Structure 1
Amino acid sequence: MAPEQTAEAASLLRNFERRFLAARSLRSFPWQILEEKLRDSSGSELLLNILQKTVKHPLCVNHPPSVKYAQGFLSELIKKHEAVHKEPLDQLYEALAEVLTAKEHPQCYRSYLLPSGDSVTLSESTAIISHGTTGLVTWNAALYLAEWAIENPMAFTHRTVLELGSGAGLTGLVICKMCCPRAYVFSDCHSRVLEQLRGNILLNGLSLEPGATAAAQHPGHNTGDSESPRVMVAQLDWDIVTAPQLAAFQPDVVIAADVLYCPETILSLVGVLHRLSACREDQRAPDAYIAFTVRNPETCQLFTTGLGRAGIPWEKVPQHDQKLFSYEEHSEMAILKLTL
């Protein structure tokens, strides 16, 4: 195989690997390019390599996606093979048979590969809305903010980070693994989300502090591995949390992703940001970064108007170059940096 063909095949493999591990929409896979490659004499070898990088990947074997997703993927893979080759590829049918006998669970796993060679694996709900919340799945802006963090690690290095509305935990886990924060506070208000969040933190090899409030009282002292951040989970209701309670975390950085989805939530978010702005009168106020998918311009306008009324200046962060994770490419996303 010529060097350029080898490079193309490697790129195709990476594309399939990243999309499958993250359980992205099957229609987003480069099926047409695969079909063209399968017409080469090396088509069967390519399919076997794809099988090893997806269904047979160690991350997938240990933490599989939903059975329905794996079944749909293998069916499409077999369809592409049959379109250009007469001889069946036994390994594909054997893999499909294994999936067909597997039991479906309400939780599935998604894995994201990091530039360091490490990965983040999340247990998520198979439903977009589950237990009355959307916080049990990862949304695009969380991936977008995680990419920006990897490109701008100094925004978090040796600092205490408070995340509002952590959801499944993707952004925070990436920052903990890639940006060397001193301490990281995951937070949410829904008890089921917090339960899943704690599980995901432990799943990724991080240790949890026994109590968020107690741990926050001494954020500058790391009693564990100096390279591992002190990690804690806090239950925060934006409508009732007080300025003193927020001040106890002593955050240097505040972040949130995909939390602008209804007027009531936006007003609550502005309120908690306003309280955070008064947390550290004797010190520098924390930096704040809010990432969101631009679904409705009126929603974004409501947020920026609310910031203006609360006296919180903001600026749009330039688009970043990193494209590490697979998400909806046609979605418009943005990050605002706030001056609290």
Structure 2
Amino acid sequence: MDHSEQNETSDKKRVTKTDILRDFQVSFFAMSRLVSFPWTFLEKDLASNKSSDLISDILKQTCLHSLCRKFPPSVRFRRLFLSELIRREAAGCDPLDELYDALAEVVGAEDTTECYKSYLLPSGDAVSLLESVALISEGTTGLVTWEAALYLAEWALDHRQTFTGRTVLELGSGVGLTGITICRSCRPNRFVFSDCHRGVLQKLRTNVQLNGLTDRTSPAVSVEEVDWTAATEEQLKRIGADTVIAADVVYDPDIVGSLVQLLSRILSCSSPGVLPEVLICSTIRNPETYSGFKLQLEKAGISHHVIAGPVSHVFPYSRPSAIELIRLLR
């Protein structure tokens, strides 16, 4: 092998290691399921090198990273993650002191009902969110991030022009992942986060502030209570949205009717000849509920177009889920 081939092989190894470290970091801060981490690569590296260097690098990109100090994943998750690292290290190389020091920090720490999840953007920035550790908390599912919100955020990153310079209203913002991603990456003129659950609104305001967004920043942002059954034409005209988005809001047949009525009012009270772009992204958990939503749209005189095609894989989540993004038309 000549010198140039050696350099090329070395570059490929560096790229591979960089990709693996990125995978560990992205998955760690999003608190992905541990089985989804690239453990096989680590095991092969330990078997061939008999060195803890890669484990040390993984630690620097996860538990010892400044983002973890500021916005730490749950104590339980960090404990389990470090235990997995230790299990593999014990079989492959000499003990690494900093690994056991990191575990000592969380062994006696108390678990809480909330934790931070951070979603890394292509720019290198992170969207950090305070979320509930339970899928259902305070009687709502709005205190965690769901797959359709992640998908819609990825679609937005691929179609930034849809939001650039516009006033965007998000319905059912939840903890704020999609909207904060758009604010940080797509340069809207104004962004209105909305929900109707008191606990969700409180958490939403916290997350908007955590990510440095206020009504004095660019874009200007606000968090508003928008009750789908009580939102008035005056409120909707005051918001004046050019683009309306929603993710994972079609899951309960009892509220689908209220959602369709609200969407009909949004489309009806827009300026003459200027319809807002309305995008609804849904994880299809119950086909009957989702079909019922589309049927009610049709009865309200609202047609829809399915937006197909791949999106860039930015965030870690279960991709086999049936997710559909539609654009509403009248």
**TM-score, length-normalised on structure 1?**
0.91
Matched residues in 1 for 2:311 and 2:205: separation?
31
In 1, Cα distance between equivalents of 2:174 and 2:17: 36
Cα drift, residue 320 of structure 1: 2.9
Partner of 1:317: 307
1:2-13 equivalences in 2 (<5 Å): 2-13=10-21
SS in 2 for 1:23: coil
In the TM superposition, residue 106 of structure 1 has moved relative to its aligned partner by 1.6
Question: Cα 1:186–1:289, aligned 2, differ >3 Å: closer, same or farther?
Answer: same
Check conservation: 2:249, 2:282, Cα contact below 8 A. Answer: yes
| Cα distance in 1, alignment partners of residues 91 and 320 from structure 2 | 30
Aligned residues: 322
Does 1:72 pair with 2:62? Answer: no
Q: 2:263 aligns with which of 273, 279, 285?
A: 273
When residues 6 and 281 of structure 1 are mapped into structure 2, their CA distance, relative to the original with a 3 A threshold, is: closer
Partners of 1:299 and 1:88 in 2: CA distance: 53
Q: Find runs of 4+ consecutive structure 1 residues off by over 3 angstroms.
A: none
Q: Could you say what secondary structure the match of 1:264 adopts?
A: helix
Cα distance in 1 for residues equivalent to 2:309 and 2:31: 25
Paired residues of 2:172 and 2:246 also in contact (CA < 8 A): yes
In the TM superposition, residue 44 of structure 1 has moved relative to its aligned partner by 0.8
Residue equivalent to 2:113: 106
CA distance in 2, matches of 1:250, 1:16: 42
Distance 1:285 1:42, change over 3 A: farther
Partner-residue secondary structure (3-state), 2:49? coil
Stretches of structure 2 lacking an aligned partner (at least 5 in a row)? 1-8
Describe the SS at the equivalent of 1:280: coil
Matched, 1:162 2:160: no
Q: Alignment partner of 2:320: what SS?
A: coil
| Distance in 1 separating the partners of 2:173 and 2:311 | 24
- For 1:20, the equivalent position in structure 2 comes to 28
User: Are 1:84 and 2:74 matched, yes or no?
Assistant: no
Q: Partner of 2:178: helix, strand, or coil?
A: helix
Q: How many Å apart are 1:281 and its aligned residue? A: 4.2
Q: Equivalent of 2:243, from 246, 250, 253? A: 253
Whole-angstrom distance in 2 between the partners of 1:40 and 1:102: 35
Q: Decide whether the 8 Å contact of 1:151 with 1:320 is kept in 2.
A: no
Q: Give the structure 1 partner of residue 5 of structure 2.
A: none
Amino acid at match of 1:155: T
User: Is 1:292 aligned to residue 276 of structure 2?
Assistant: no
1:116 is matched with 123
**Percent of residue pairs identical:** 47
Unpaired segments ≥5 residues, structure 1: 209-223
